[in-house]
Amino acid sequence: MLDPVLLESFLTVALARSFSEAGRRLGLRQSTISQHVRKLEQEAGRRLFVRDTHSVVPTADGEAMEGFARSILEANDRARRYFAGSQLRGRVRFGASEDFVTSRLPEILADFVRLHPLVDLALTVEKSAGLYQMLDAGDLDLALCKRRAGDERGRLVWRDRLVWIGAEATRIDPDQPLPLILFTPPSITRTAALETLERTGRPWRIVCSSSSLSGLRAAALAGLGITVHARGLMPEGLMELPATYRLPELGDAEFVVLGATRQTRGPVAELADAIIANTGRLQRRT
């Protein structure tokens, strides 16, 4: 039998792509995480990661182990909850950023509702900047969103690159201002795009503004221009623009689970844990 402790360390490394980050998330030393992964590799008789000084990438066997580990840990969790004999009760006002509209977040929420039928879950979908405002106003208990620059609040779920994206047929005239499709303000990605272009001196014009991801996607698919999005959550039908366009680097985005208070407990804490445990299901694999 595969030890759930080893599987949890392995799966956290696979999601974080880092032994040190996995240790931080689990509250363990990096050496302990490494020992867990080595022992699991010995038990499986297969190499699970390719490691160098810059990256940690699952092997083909490692990718297979991810699926097994997730299923085993979820089954253990369901058994633990069943035999614990106590059911969560209460209400969770949860906000998810527009970035996750086309992700598998609905599946994660469906699993949570099935496991906790006595929890009243209310969902709000909004831009990350709007979710911050709602949290600060006391209108939400928990949010899954991008972290604002300089903000240290929240539990880091994963870090992703912001990239320029558009339809496959999109063409950009280098002699004309860059046609931008952006969220209406306030918006973290809008601010990142405009500040980057201003800093690099690249002319631009806004051809479409929308408060929803579906609006941005429709405009991009129509070929009106280009937009900015996290690489791991790229909407269906759009692609990262090639380096030949020489567009400026946008940096990284940090996705966090953020509570209205520093100490989350009960169903709010349970939902936060469920989201972090299912990070791999949220990201779109390319």
pLDDT in tens, 6-29: 999 999 998 888 899 889 888 889
CB 236 within 8 A of CB 88: no
CA 218, 221, 227, 229 torsion: positive or negative? positive
Regarding whether 203 and 243 lie in a shared domain, the answer is: yes
- Token pair, residue 267, equals 């169903």
Regarding whether 245 and 165 lie in a shared domain, the answer is: yes
Q: Which residue has the tokens 């609006």?
A: 215
Euclidean distance between CA atoms 11 and 37, whole angstroms: 9
Listed in sequence order, the residues at least 6 apart from 71 whose beta carbon sits closer than 8 Å to its beta carbon are none
Regarding whether 216 and 248 lie in a shared domain, the answer is: yes
234 compared with 1, residue with greater pLDDT: 234
> 34-82 pLDDT, tens per residue?
999 999 999 999 999 998 777 889 999 999 999 899 889 888 877 776 6
> 154-206 pLDDT, tens per residue?
888 888 899 999 999 888 898 899 999 999 998 999 999 999 999 999 999 99
Q: What is the pLDDT of residue 81?
A: 67
Task: Return the CATH number at 263.
Answer: 3.40.190.10
The domain tally of the chain equals 3
- Domain enclosing residue 70, as ranges: 4-84
Task: Return the CATH number at 80.
Answer: 1.10.10.10
Regarding whether 169 and 54 lie in a shared domain, the answer is: no
> 99-136 pLDDT, tens per residue?
888 888 999 999 888 888 889 999 999 999 999 999 99
Regarding whether 115 and 41 lie in a shared domain, the answer is: no
Regarding whether 144 and 167 lie in a shared domain, the answer is: no
**Nearest alpha-carbon partner for 64 in 47, 43, 42, 51:** 47
**Nearest alpha-carbon partner for 81 in 276, 264, 259, 267:** 267
Q: What is the pLDDT of residue 85?
A: 47
Regarding whether 140 and 152 lie in a shared domain, the answer is: yes
- Token pair, residue 247, equals 């567009």
For residue 286, is pLDDT > 70? no
For residue 274, is pLDDT > 50? yes
Regarding whether 222 and 170 lie in a shared domain, the answer is: yes
pTM for the full model?
0.69
| φ/ψ (deg, to 5) at 245 | -75, -15
* Residue 60: half-sphere exposure toward Cβ, Cα within 13 Å: 0
- Token pair, residue 129, equals 């900047």
Regarding whether 207 and 136 lie in a shared domain, the answer is: no
Regarding whether 48 and 34 lie in a shared domain, the answer is: yes
Q: What is the pLDDT of residue 262?
A: 66
For residue 31, is pLDDT > 90? yes
